[in-house]
């Protein structure tokens, strides 16, 4: 069961391990209609006197429609036993199938966002800023062919982390 805690109560949380190695599900929408995608392009920090996350979504992803239309985005982190589920959610599109249902995940309303009951940790954030990654702004131009060979640059959202839930 997920229980709300304060951001300051997060213990033994290494964002580099959580994001790079364990990944997360980025989710937006409502209980009636939401979508999720696996992501490890996430940044956590402190900006504008707020605990924030930067969440990056390519425009061709189905989740993009949901991040655009909704005020809240969640980041759900899971244990290693969910690696196959996260791999599946990162390779299948919610446009073509109900991947949440097929993954046997349980969406739950958490604050203004949608997380998953099975998650170990869920960060719920309200969008406060958005922009596109711009080709002209790259100082290291080698990133473009390596990460954007089709020039499909991400849109990023800065979200104010309003609530944190952990598994108890």
Q: From CA 53, how far away is CA 35, in angstroms rounded? A: 19
Q: What was the pLDDT predicted at 162?
A: 97
The string of pLDDT tens digits covering residues 37-49 is: 999 899 999 999 9
Q: Residue for token digits 């104010």? A: 160
CB 82 within 8 A of CB 100: no
* DSSP assignment of 91-129: HS-TTTS-HHHHTT--EEEETTEEEETT-SEEEEEEEEE
Per-residue pLDDT averaged across 83-103, rounded?
A: 93
Residues 9-18: contacts with CB under 8 Å, at least 24 apart: 9/164, 10/121, 10/164, 10/166, 13/121, 15/44, 18/77, 18/121
CA terminus-to-terminus distance, the chain:
6
Comparing 20 with 148, which gets the higher pLDDT?
Answer: 148
Q: Over the chain, what is the mean pLDDT?
A: 94
- CA–CA distances in Å: residue 101 to residues 29, 49, 85, 88, 98: 15, 38, 11, 12, 6
Q: How does DSSP classify residue 154?
A: P
Query: Which tens digit of pLDDT belongs to each residue from 55-77?
Result: 999 999 999 999 999 999 999 99
Is the pLDDT at 16 greater than 90? The verdict is no
Confidence of residue 10 (pLDDT cuts 50, 70, 90): confident
Residue 56 β-bridge partners: 156
Cβ distance 56 to 155 under 8 Å?
yes
């Amino acid at each position: 069961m997920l229980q709300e805690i304060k951001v300051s109560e997060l213990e033994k949380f290494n964002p580099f391990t959580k994001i790079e190695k364990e990944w997360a599900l980025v989710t937006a929408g409502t209980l009636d209609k939401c979508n999720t995608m696996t992501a490890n392009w996430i940044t956590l920090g402190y900006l504008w006197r707020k605990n924030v996350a930067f969440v990056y979504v390519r425009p061709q992803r189905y989740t993009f429609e949901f991040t655009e239309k909704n005020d809240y985005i969640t980041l759900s982190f899971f244990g290693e036993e969910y690696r196959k589920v996260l791999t599946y959610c990162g390779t299948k599109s919610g446009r073509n199938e109900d991947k949440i249902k097929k993954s046997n995940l349980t969406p739950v309303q958490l604050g203004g966002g949608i997380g998953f009951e099975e998650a170990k940790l869920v960060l719920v954030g309200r969008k406060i800023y958005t922009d596109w990654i711009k080709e002209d702004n790259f100082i290291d131009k080698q990133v473009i062919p390596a990460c954007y060979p089709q020039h499909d640059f991400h849109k990023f959202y800065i979200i104010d982390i309003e609530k944190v839930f952990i598994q108890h």
